[in-house]
């Protein structure tokens, strides 16, 4: 049959259907044979989550984040995604992101020969940060709880098993597993030993040797795991009320579900410590979740106090710790050298537990760590506040770091930024010591880094007669803007300030690219050519995928379809033909652009297909 004959026969069939009052309609739900894709859907409420679950072919996991909402992870028919995204109460829809461990065995080291299992060795990192001095003073982390969110922990290791508490697993353990959270890789066991190996007669000793370690297995034997698996583990840790979560893992891609879990954990008082990442250092390239403002991002140093050649740099780096050739525990009761920001991270994790045991609150610990670091003379984006100093953090005062101290002990430190949104953020600080003062007025200065003179503002938080954390929420900020801030304290004519810290507000989707819906062309009784325009693209956007959402007016939920049009990295027009429309029917369509799960929609445009007699 010729193309002309095919088209003629099709039109005759459509006219017959018009006469009979029947029609094919738009397909709204997936057929039984339709393919599915894994999606993560964040919702505002339990009812919205229930509605989303009803659209899934299979629900993999659900997370209850309290006031922050709910998350459903499942396999959804491809055709249902547009209607899920458009549903009221849906905060985001994203794909799974893969995260990997950020430490590796030192080449050529089958075992740490210099670790004599018959005689305990103090690793150089524990010594360099002054943790062994704190041990001698009796501060060893009793009644604290450390969660190692990683590949698991060897439950039978002689240097760990006395400190092990309850564990949790979101992925299976493949080999040699006594517990479901056991380690089949070694990375998690190595991190656990750095943070909390037992002080005994052999092996190594950890930063916090009397803490309780909790193995949370979210990474498989391959060394990688999914965002939803990791988020599940972190939410479990928060619900147990543990003191600190150690995340020696990362990804170059942000993940909404991971950020949700980090914020949920910090809301519940968990201090979240994460590895900055291992690659050729590149400014502002810190991996996630370390890049989130709620987490303490940790870089790595070597035994010469130089920055490790793999340690990523950027404004998010908050502190550095030993991370090169670190001896610690591995599976099968062995010991090996590993390197990575993964190894630096549990040094800080152990320090957090030590401070908790010394009586500091979760709100105070972050500022205390920042204000007592040792300045190594590096740039701020390399060392953050400086090198971890557990002895100084636990004791009185500090002889290192960039935060404010008048010399008589009057000191304040700048913390981090939390709950950073498009136009608001909460900034934190800590009054670390009053020195000879009886009280001090504390607050913050903040400004747009591109216009300090024109935008600097001062916020007084109030008077404090005791040391401790303080915070304030900034509103009315500009989206997609980097702000700097410092904490200050004033008393008796003296003024001290903390180290400058930065945060960047979220971008409105239209800050990144913009989309317009055009007028349709070649509208016939069963088809039309839909038209859209990418009118601007920010240089940070690598690619904009263009699609159209089209539905029959008055029946969006039952007839919505998404039509793919292409992709572009520059302003451009795009079009795509939509077929199988009903004659003499009004349709609505919207041009849509998508980049890294950011979706920008144009204004809806209506058109009417030709009637049977047109």
CA distances from residue 610 to 27, 450, 527, 528, 532 in whole angstroms, order as listed = 20, 55, 9, 10, 21
| Coil, strand or helix at 449 | coil
Q: Give 409-433 as a DSSP string.
A: SEEEEEEEEES--SS-EEEEEEEEE
Q: Which two tokens stand for residue 575?
A: 């079009």
| Coil, strand or helix at 500 | coil
User: Treating both helix axes as pointing N-terminal to C-terminal, what angle do 341-357 and 187-196 enclose, rounded to 10 degrees?
Assistant: 40
CA distances from residue 561 to 36, 52, 77, 95, 464 in whole angstroms, order as listed = 16, 17, 12, 20, 59
| Coil, strand or helix at 80 | helix
**Marked catalytic residue, from 83, 155, 251, 342:** 342
Is residue 149 within 8 Å of residue 230, measured between CB atoms? yes
Beta strands 249-250; 145-150: pairing state: unpaired
* Sequence-distant (≥ 6) Cβ neighbours of residue 322 within 8 angstroms: 124, 125, 128, 129, 300, 301, 302, 303, 343, 344, 347
Sheet holding 572-578, edge to edge: 513-517, 528-537, 572-578
**Marked catalytic residue, from 135, 145, 187, 214:** 187
187 labelled catalytic: yes
3 labelled catalytic: no
**Total Cβ atoms within 10 A of residue 220:** 18
- Alpha-carbon dihedral 137, 142, 144, 146, rounded to 10 degrees: 90
- Alpha-carbon dihedral 118, 124, 127, 129, rounded to 10 degrees: -140
Place of tokens 């996630």: 288
Counting beta carbons within 10 angstroms of the beta carbon of residue 438, is it exposed (0 to 12), middle (13 to 18) or buried (19 or more)? Answer: exposed
d(CA 81, CA 74): 12
Q: Please provide the size of the chain in residues.
A: 614
d(CA 358, CA 27): 63
**Marked catalytic residue, from 132, 150, 391, 403:** 150
d(CA 247, CA 592): 36
398 labelled catalytic: no
Spell out a b/e string for 95-116, using b for 16 or more CB atoms within 10 Å of the CB, else e: ebbebbbbbebeeeeeebeebe
- 252 forms beta bridges with none
Half-sphere exposure of 345 (CA within 13 A, CB side): 39
User: Treating both helix axes as pointing N-terminal to C-terminal, what angle do 256-267 and 227-240 enclose, rounded to 10 degrees?
Assistant: 10
Point out the residues that are catalytic. 150, 187, 342
């Amino acid at each position: 049959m010729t193309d002309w004959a095919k088209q003629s026969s099709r039109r005759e069939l459509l006219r017959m259907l018009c006469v009979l009052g029947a029609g094919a309609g738009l397909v709204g739900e997936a057929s039984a044979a339709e393919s599915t894709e894994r999606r993560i859907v964040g919702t505002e409420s339990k009812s919205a989550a229930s509605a989303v679950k009803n659209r899934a072919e299979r629900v993999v996991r659900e997370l209850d984040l309290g006031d922050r909402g709910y998350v459903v992870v499942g396999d959804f028919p491809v055709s249902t995604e547009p209607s899920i995204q458009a549903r009221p109460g849906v905060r985001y829809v994203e794909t799974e992101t893969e995260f990997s461990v950020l430490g590796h065995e030192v080449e050529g080291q089958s075992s740490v020969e210099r670790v004599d299992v018959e005689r305990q060795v103090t690793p150089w990192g524990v010594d360099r940060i002054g943790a062994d001095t704190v041990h001698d003073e009796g501060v060893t982390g009793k009644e604290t709880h450390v969660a190692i969110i990683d590949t698991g922990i060897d439950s039978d290791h002689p240097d760990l098993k006395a400190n092990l508490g309850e564990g949790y697993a979101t992925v299976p353990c493949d080999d040699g597993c006594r517990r479901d959270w056991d380690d089949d890789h070694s990375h998690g066991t190595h991190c656990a030993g750095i943070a909390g190996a037992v002080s005994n007669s052999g092996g190594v000793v950890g930063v916090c040797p009397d803490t309780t370690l909790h193995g949370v297995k979210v990474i498989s034997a391959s060394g990688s795991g999914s965002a939803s698996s990791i988020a599940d583990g972190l939410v479990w840790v928060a619900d147990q009320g543990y003191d600190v979560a150690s995340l020696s893992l990362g990804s170059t891609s942000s993940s909404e579900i991971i950020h949700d879990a980090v914020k949920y954990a910090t809301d519940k008082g968990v201090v979240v410590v994460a590895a900055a990442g291992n690659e050729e250092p590149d400014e502002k390239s810190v991996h996630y979740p370390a890049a989130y403002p709620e987490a303490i991002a940790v870089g790595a140093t070597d035994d010469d106090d130089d920055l490790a050649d793999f340690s990523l740099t950027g404004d998010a780096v908050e502190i550095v710790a030993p991370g090169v050739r670190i001896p610690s525990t591995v599976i099968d009761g062995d010991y090996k050298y590993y390197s990575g920001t993964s190894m630096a991270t549990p040094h800080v994790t152990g320090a957090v537990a030590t401070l908790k045991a010394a009586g500091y609150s979760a709100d105070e610990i972050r500022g205390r760590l920042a204000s007592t670091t040792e300045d190594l003379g590096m740039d701020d984006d390399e060392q953050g506040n400086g090198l971890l100093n557990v002895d100084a953090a636990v004791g009185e005062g500090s002889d290192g770091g960039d935060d404010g101290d008048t010399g008589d002990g009057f000191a304040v430190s700048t913390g981090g930024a939390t709950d950073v949104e498009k136009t608001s953020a909460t900034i934190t600080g800590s009054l670390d010591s009053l020195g000879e003062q009886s009280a001090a007025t504390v607050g913050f200065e903040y400004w747009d880094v591109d216009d300090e003179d024109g935008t600097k503002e001062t916020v007084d938080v109030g008077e404090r007669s005791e040391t401790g954390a303080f915070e304030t929420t900034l509103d009315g900020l500009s989206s997609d803007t980097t702000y700097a801030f410092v904490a200050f304290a004033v008393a008796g004519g003296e003024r001290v300030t903390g180290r400058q810290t930065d945060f960047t507000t979220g971008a409105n989707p239209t800050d990144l690219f913009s989309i317009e819906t055009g007028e349709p062309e070649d509208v016939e009784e069963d088809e039309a050519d839909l038209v859209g325009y990418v009118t601007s693209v920010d240089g940070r956007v690598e690619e904009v995928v263009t699609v159209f959402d089209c539905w029959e007016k008055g029946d969006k939920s039952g007839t919505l379809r998404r039509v793919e049009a292409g992709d572009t990295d520059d302003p451009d027009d795009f079009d795509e033909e939509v077929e199988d429309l009903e004659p003499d029917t009004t349709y609505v369509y919207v041009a849509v652009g998508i980049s890294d799960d950011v979706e920008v929609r144009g204004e809806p445009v209506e058109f009417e297909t030709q009637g049977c007699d047109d």
